[in-house]
Structure 1
């Protein structure tokens, strides 16, 4: 096993674990990092790897929120179990728009939008949106809904529609859904948590589709690369999620907006002058 290949895989796992949950686009960052770190694997495997590595990240949500998401927990009373099931119904309802669009147009989206130019544009556009929305909330002094139980099916579906935007790389799935949640009146904490929960069926579904498309005939090296990437992204995601939930309780998302704009400009500059 090539040590360099392992090190590159670890770096990609770290990038995935950090950027999946922060509203700065994991897919966009993986595309950009790939410009400098070539895994030296087939194009088909790399396309699958960039999606399936997210399974490690999503398992971090399952572990951290297992009690909250478990409707069969013996520590919950009947009412709490019912509320947990209702939360899952809302998650599934919200997933439908992205699931339908993703299944129907997966290849077209990948062929047309998975490139550095699109990533740079979406990084900047949504960076500006974060700043504009937060400034508006600051002026209006609006306090968002601070309980997941207050999230209606209509609100969940609207957030799910925003999730469709994240099919374009550079947008950020968490960024799009958090923006959607804040716009319809959710607090940052509720918007972030619901975004995490939406990721569970979305990432499992997307990973299953990519694996089936790639086939189950992995080489030994491909299995090791996939396993290392998922394990690293899982461990780093644990830290990232805890950081984000602590951050949003005290700060707004403008810093992420500024980061996205700066990164987008750097990407444009790099591809204009160095490629």
Structure 2
């Protein structure tokens, strides 16, 4: 592989890291980035799909680093501290619904829902829901759940079920879990934190499962390419996660709502003109 392919892998990693944890759908942005730089043409479409899923693991390592203190404290206290036990159970419970649905109907969703219209509608509807959720949050005097440690078992179940909606292309896993959490009474900070924690088993599981299923497509020669993607996804995600944590303390998600609506219109326009293959 030449240097140009590694540069493309780095760019794809940067896009993944910057968009994975924002409520704007990393999938749609990766498709657009691939169209602009021709990454799939360089490595093959099937290998490119495995690459895009695998580098999510790099992005999630950034979350692990940022929240390392909380993660370590939970692991140390899981055998004796009720708070740590409750938190661990909530993350596990939130992870199960999407994992089960992915195994059961993941292929069917990719086969039938990955169309420009579905992706565009998901972007636009998601933007409108963000506006609605922010309006609801503004009317509340205070959130019922201020931190992730205040979450009940039922809250984790609800967020886990809401995460299943992110399987619809263009929805955004982070967007679904953050905004869904806010709609059930969580503060913006608590919903964002839990979305990050929930992403750890979800994205690592998806990456490992994809590599296991498509192992025959890969060889040791692909390792450097994947490492480049992982490293740049990690670095850009680390910057993005730290920024988002500060952002949610004093800002709403309204700008992301308008961005989603504009991006949805862009999808419809580029699909109609044949500039981007949103079914890739």
* TM-score band w.r.t. shorter chain: over 0.9
Q: 1:71–1:82: 8 Å Cα contact kept in structure 2?
A: no
Normalising to structure 2: TM-score of the pair?
Answer: 0.91
Deviations 1:23-53 (A, max 9, x none): 1111221122222222222222112111111
Give the Cα–Cα distance (whole angstroms) in 1 for the partners of residues 74 and 164 of structure 2.
31
Q: How does 1:184-223 map to 2 (within 5 A)?
A: 184-215=184-215, 218-223=218-223
Change (3 A) 1:31 1:108: same
Q: 2:137–2:182: 8 Å Cα contact kept in structure 1?
A: no
Query: Superposition RMSD on alpha carbons, in Å?
Result: 2.0
Instruction: Tell me, yes or no, if structure 1 residue 8 matches structure 2 residue 8.
Output: yes
Give the Cα–Cα distance (whole angstroms) in 2 for the partners of residues 16 and 259 of structure 1.
17
Q: How does 1:146-165 map to 2 (within 5 A)?
A: 146-165=146-165
- Measured after TM superposition, the shift of residue 113 of structure 1 is 2.4
Q: 1:68–1:84: 8 Å Cα contact kept in structure 2?
A: no
Show the counterpart of 2:93.
93
Q: 2:74–2:85: 8 Å Cα contact kept in structure 1?
A: no
Show the counterpart of 2:169.
169
Give the Cα–Cα distance (whole angstroms) in 1 for the partners of residues 224 and 128 of structure 2.
39
Show the counterpart of 2:57.
55
- Measured after TM superposition, the shift of residue 119 of structure 1 is 2.0
Report the secondary structure of 1:145's partner residue.
Answer: coil
Q: Which moved more, 1:32-41 or 1:86-95?
A: 32-41
Q: Which moved more, 1:33-42 or 1:102-111?
A: 33-42
- Measured after TM superposition, the shift of residue 225 of structure 1 is 1.5
Show the counterpart of 2:278.
none
Q: Which moved more, 1:262-271 or 1:150-159?
A: 262-271
Q: 1:31–1:114: 8 Å Cα contact kept in structure 2?
A: no
Structure 2 residues without counterparts, runs of 5 or longer: 276-280
- Measured after TM superposition, the shift of residue 136 of structure 1 is 2.7
Q: 1:70 aligns with which of 72, 78, 84?
A: 72
Change (3 A) 1:217 1:112: closer
Give the Cα–Cα distance (whole angstroms) in 1 for the partners of residues 118 and 236 of structure 2.
27
Give the Cα–Cα distance (whole angstroms) in 2 for the partners of residues 243 and 86 of structure 1.
28
Change (3 A) 1:126 1:77: closer
Q: How does 1:1-275 map to 2 (within 5 A)?
A: 1-39=1-39, 40-71=42-73, 81-215=81-215, 218-275=218-275
- Measured after TM superposition, the shift of residue 269 of structure 1 is 1.2
- Measured after TM superposition, the shift of residue 104 of structure 1 is 0.9
Q: 1:71–1:85: 8 Å Cα contact kept in structure 2?
A: no
- Measured after TM superposition, the shift of residue 180 of structure 1 is 1.2
Q: 1:70–1:84: 8 Å Cα contact kept in structure 2?
A: no
- Measured after TM superposition, the shift of residue 130 of structure 1 is 0.4
Change (3 A) 1:203 1:134: same
Q: Which moved more, 1:26-35 or 1:239-248?
A: 26-35
Q: 1:124–1:260: 8 Å Cα contact kept in structure 2?
A: yes
